[in-house]
Chain A
Amino acid sequence: MKNLLAPPHVNFGLQVDILANGLPRLRIDEIGGIYQRYNQTASYVLIAEPDLMASSAIDVKSTRDTDVLCFRTSTHQQLEFTVQHNPLRLTLRNTATGETLVDINANDLLHMEHYRRRSDTDDTRVEGMWEETFNHKPDSKPKGPQAFSLDIDFPSHAHIYGIPEHAAPLALPPTDGTSPRRTPYVDNSPPYTEPYRLYNLDVFEYEASSPMALYGSVPLMHAHSSRSSLAVFLLSASEMWIDVKHPSNHSTSTQWMGESGIIDLFLIPGPSVEDVFAQYASLTGVVQLPQQFALGHHQCRWNYFTSKDMLGVVDGFDSIDAPVDVLWLDIEYAEGHKYFLWDKRKFPDPVDMIESIAATGRKTVNIIDPHLSRDENFYVYQEASDRGLLVKRPDGQSEYEGWCWAGASSWVDMLNPAAWDWWISLFSFEKWKDSTRNLFTWVDMNEPTVFNGPEITMPKDVLFHGNVEHRDIHNMNGLLFTNLTAQGLEKRGEVNERSFVLSRSFFAGSQRFGAVWTGDNLGTWEHLRSATPMNLANSISGIMLTGADVGGFFGDPSAQYLVRWYQTGAFHPFFRAHAHIDTKRREPHTLSEPYRSIVRDVLRLRYTLLPLWYTAFRSSTRNGMPVIRPQFLVHPGDEAGYDIDDQFYVGAAAELLVKPVVQEDAQSVGVYLGGDEPYYDYFTHQISFAKEHIHRTLNIPTQLDTLPLFIRGGSIIPTRERARRSASLMVRDPLTLTIALDHYGEAQGRVYLDDGHSFDYTRDAFIDRNFTFSSISSDVRGGWALRSTQLEPGMSFTEGEEIEIERIQVLGLKEKPEEVITSGQLLQFTWKEGVAASGGEEGRASLLTIKKPLVRVRDDFEIVG
């Protein structure tokens, strides 16, 4: 390959691989350059070096000008990848439909700056090519210019999603100054005129709608239409900018610019949404199965100041009988912000405190930021310094020093393999005496934040192991740190416990190591509105355990606002309340009535639904599908839903639809009903059908304590209706199955249970059941049967043996059964008249409640009526 802007002796190479499952991977690099462009990102991000398709399975047709590769994906899609040589153009086409999926360099923007010597640089063009200054912060740029650019067109797809993290609508608005299709969630928001930026940054009081960079980045972009779904994944951890425009109503054109490294592009062809997620998961992996407690409620604040303060917060929850699983400690627990070191003046006996909290099944999390105080008496810094594990100044010799909470600080070099085992060892109980198995980790400031650095982060010319410049790996810095911290937790003690790490910075693949959140949001309605699209964007980018600071980090918002936040946050995968040090206390027990009780009920609702959440996460570890899903994923053929990002679905089969109320003093809210299925109001069991409502939009009044929550007809949802103080105290409690019938009077569902904390589930210690409710057509009375069968073979687990199903509720049944029987035994039941799902009428659904059906969850059973 040649670059017309480069001297004639400079060469570039294009390598095309077809992965075993049919994903084309394109790599572009300079050949024989002065330096090797950074090409190791994949080794940290991909779960493994991908297998390639056997060449025998690829039909190559070459002419003088083109090479055409024909192959079938593992999803049975017949594809044709064409390399046109001059001018260079790369296209991916679905052979069967003739649809062009991806068209690269159609706009001739593919470009890669070649390495050059400074002495060869034309003086008139030196400006910005070598050392430069941003806000008085110098960047020595020792290798000079090395950027790349690439245009990727989606000729048949008008909707694109992904490339988090931005506070932006889910369906990405264009960046060319034209108006987005849907009115944005922020009032009077001007159209975007800057490209989306991917550069992990600690942004103070970020805007609620903007393409500017935030804490994390995943360079994965989905393109979706009613005909097909696909994605592109440009694996580079350097700073990136992405422009988006729509040349026509049915197409999208994007341009990607990166600062350094090779171009490593994966084309993810779909064609279904499920295929896209499975294919992406085959590259960067699936979500770690979280510990059960991680899905409970988390209570955080900057800061709880003493052991007594912490225990008082636990007492506060207990006093109002509200559940909470995790109590969090921000930076002030650490003496002089030297993480690992508890300030014993405030926390005289940390182990005692952690174990007191653990007595009711609760966990403690404290913060371990990646900056190490350069204090010679601080053992962590001392060890890292002695072993030469710290990031170096551009001279490659002395330790880089910057400012963060701890004052003068240095950073661990996570590219150095010697740092890995050392970092892991810091978490061992022998080494860290003030920790227990009930203590977990929060990694903040890992973009990294450097108070006196350019844009509050690390200078790009700082050097990592192997003389790698920070610019080459910036966006995966947080990922590396989270990865090793998670390993630290997994390798301490008895080595069978899952880790839990919350990280602010993230990158593609971060799902394997824990949770993320959307950073320091504001306590404003606009930020509340931005939280759902942001968490949906993370979810469709593989980052499944994602949440936002419930209540808003900054400010002292009203009680109404807090209630609406809890109602929203309770349906985000990671559910943590947090607040800035300057705010007033706002834990649920500090609220006045009626707010306190409303919040308590929301917390209980979250816990009631924990079996559904846990099943969804387990399912995601199998198929890579998000646990919360936007409208377009659940109704991929319904174009009217593509721009909707203020309602979403929860569950392995998107069983629940939720539309958080995010407008102040909202009197009513419109819920878009996709598909033809009946939607059952979770609380009133009212059935609604899209066809009965103008624009398929159901308007429902919204008192402060009402939350628009629906069960999709055809679903069976597992819940635990008994209130407990924490998730682990629910582990033996019986389940309730709620069966919401579809038109045909049928439904199905799943429940997955395990011990909730160990890796025993990887050795089959789990229960994974499939429930099917079907009509027995042969029966003249139109009878039915509920069957429970094993979905994946598991051996159950100690606590799981005796778990019963205490109640089965069937919604929307046509007739009251004469009797309900299992294994020849008559079961007690009650019946409430109401409408049937199959009747197609709206109204309160009939309700059959089977009391104590005498079955255990782990067993096969059949109940007929």
Chain B
Amino acid sequence: MRLSWIVGLTLAASVTCSDRIRGVDPSLAHLYQPTNGRFQCLNDATTIAYTSLNDDYCDCPDGTDEPSTSACSGRHHTPQFYCHNEHYTPSRIHLSRVGDGLCEEECCDGSDEAEGVCANTCTQRAHRRAVHHAHSQRVRERALVTKRAYVERGLEVLGELRSSVQAKQANLLKTERAEKAGKDEVDRLETLAKDALDARLASPLYKHLLDSRNALETLALEKRAVEDDLQLLLDILLSLKNSYNPNYQDMGVLAAVREYDAYVDTHSKSSDTWSSELLSKVQKEDPVALMVSLDEPEKQDVDSALFNIEAYLPPPLSAHYRSFKKTLVGWLVKLSIIPSHSLQEEGVYLQKAKKEHKKQFDALNRASKSLAKTQAEYVELEGGLRWGRQGEWIALKHECVSQDIAEYTYELCFFDRATQRQQDRKSGGTNLGKFHSWNEDQEVEAGSEAFYSTQLYNKGQRCWNGPERSTVVEMVCGERNALIEVEELEKCAYKFLVSSPAACHESMGSVHLDKHTHVHTHAHDEL
């Protein structure tokens, strides 16, 4: 009893008249009670005289005996200084900030400095925070109205898609029927024409046609590949020209830029004789149809040479002539001296039927593809994580936000890509990354608020001498969809700060509210 009375006195002496120890979290205050009149260092077996606690001298090897002063600030693993901040929120600061003559923002009660150095601003801060929170809350509420509209819009989109799917299913059935009829007709005519056609398709001409066609296809593919490669190289050079470090110590780079300019100058004027449209037109010709159409000029030839005598005969002789001709042609056909006439005629019907069927078939294909696409779109929008917990991001699928910063315009098209372009240009620009995913941080739970606070866009245009450009988009709650800020902390690694009502959550105290407003001078207007 007596002992504790003495200890109580000591405590009062060393810890001022308050029952709390300056800089100590009340929940840890018990650790600073004396043990047999001594203080037990917190992480160390050492004990020191209780009077040495908070005497502005670091006694404990672990630096735990000076929670109220900076004496142990140079030691490791010391507990931080606890600011009670009554009427506000308690906080902790490094011991290095205790007694340094500065009033810490985190310590509005001024307890980190000697008495009289810092005014207690906790009440004002609490007031400011309340005002700020109220303002934020109003903004958030307005934003949430928009967000609800987004959710509605998302549902609408889904509804539209659903009816679209139904309509397309019906259409598909109809086109399926038409196609079947067309196919039957083709089959019928084909059976008739098949034998004759087979003979023709066995001819070297057809083989040659196929070979030429294969060659053309291969060449066209190669041409496209070469063009792609050329474009890639030109893009690389353009990017080099636009973003090279104008350090003329690298004369090779300067020479490359000049050569590039000269090249672009000369080659922009030249045009392609064989445009890809022309090529693809040639490629689209049906070789079988071509073989069939071979008949027509041949027929002309035979007609003019042998059969078109009729035109010179007087009308009364025409009927005889026609009968004679029929017999003669029959013989000639049988002797394989001229091709069968029936093939020509049937070929025309078949061709027509085939054309018709092709149309029907294409229509069927389109209908089925269109249905598949809509269905996929529906499935994609309807489920999964991408569009938010309530589908609120669906509404922003085709939205873009942009901002002029320094000499550039930056643009983010949600779920599509991030772009940077010179302000004086209307289109084009540098691809800063294509949509990849929401937050991929392992520690963030998929679908959580933190998950929807970050989007990643990657595989953008490669930097000269560097990586592919990529962009991290930080989403904050705001009334409008806006690109607020762009940073390029390292070359080719961008960070966008984007506000959107879709990023607002019903719960209070969302991190975004304070994060960008109280720090330094750079207040954003999104909230």
Contact = CB atoms under 8 A, between A and B. Distances in A.
Interface of A: 202, 204, 305-309, 311, 315, 318, 321, 343, 345-346, 349, 352-353, 356, 359-360, 403, 405, 407, 451-452, 456, 581-585, 597, 604, 608, 721-725, 729, 732-733, 806-807, 851-852
A204 B102 CA distance: 44
Given A585-B490, A722-B96, A724-B96, A349 B249 contact: no
Contact of B522 (A308, A581, A722, A732): A308
B485 interface: yes
A848 B462 CA distance: 63
A307 B521 contact: yes
B57 A852 contact: yes
A315 B74 CA distance: 19
Which 5 pairs of residues, A with B, have the shortest CB-CB distance?
A451-B248, A723-B96, A723-B73, A345-B406, A204-B249
A307 B522 contact: yes
B246 A405 contact: yes
Majority DSSP secondary structure for residues of A touching B: loop
Contact-residue size bin, chain B (C-beta under 8 Å from the other chain): 35 or more
Contacts of B96: 321, 722-725
A806 B102 contact: no
Nearest to A311: B520
Contacts of B246: 405, 407, 451
Nearest to A583: B490
Given A308-B520, A451-B247, A722 B487 contact: no
Most buried by B among A305, A346, A360, A723: A723
10 contacts: A345-B407, A451-B247, A581-B245, A582-B245, A721-B58, A722-B70, A722-B71, A723-B70, A723-B95, A852-B55
B443 to A, nearest CB: 15
B353 to A, nearest CB: 66
Nearest to B96: A723
Contact of B465 (A306, A582, A608): A582
B101 interface: yes
A407 B248 CA distance: 10
Contacts of B74: 604, 608, 721-723
Nearest to A356: B520
B94 interface: yes
B511 interface: no
A451 B102 contact: no
A224 B73 CA distance: 46
A319 to B, nearest CB: 9
B466 A582 contact: yes
A346 B100 CA distance: 32
A309 B95 CA distance: 26
B58 to A, nearest CB: 8
Contacts of A604: 74
Contact of A806 (B57, B76, B101, B249): B57
A403 B248 contact: yes
B491 interface: yes
B521 A321 contact: no
B489 A309 contact: yes
A116 B100 CA distance: 70
B487 A309 contact: yes
Contacts of A305: 487-489
A729 B491 contact: no
Contacts of B436: none
B417 to A, nearest CB: 22
B73 A724 contact: yes
A851 B102 CA distance: 27
A343 B490 contact: no
A305 B55 CA distance: 45
A623 B374 CA distance: 86
Contact of A356 (B59, B245, B521): B521
A315 B94 CA distance: 13
B459 interface: no
Contact of B71 (A353, A405, A806): A806
Contacts of B153: none
Interface in B455-500: 465-466, 485, 487-491
A610 to B, nearest CB: 13
A306 B406 CA distance: 11
Contacts of B102: 359-360, 729
Contacts of B100: 724-725, 729
A407 B70 CA distance: 52
Nearest to A456: B249
B73 A722 contact: yes
Contacts of B73: 722-724
Contacts of A581: 245, 491
Interface in B376-432: 405-407
Contacts of A359: 102
Contacts of A318: 94
B488 A452 contact: no
Interface in B55-90: 55-59, 70-71, 73-74, 76
B308 to A, nearest CB: 81
A42 B76 CA distance: 53
A626 B431 CA distance: 53
Contacts of A733: 70
B148 interface: no
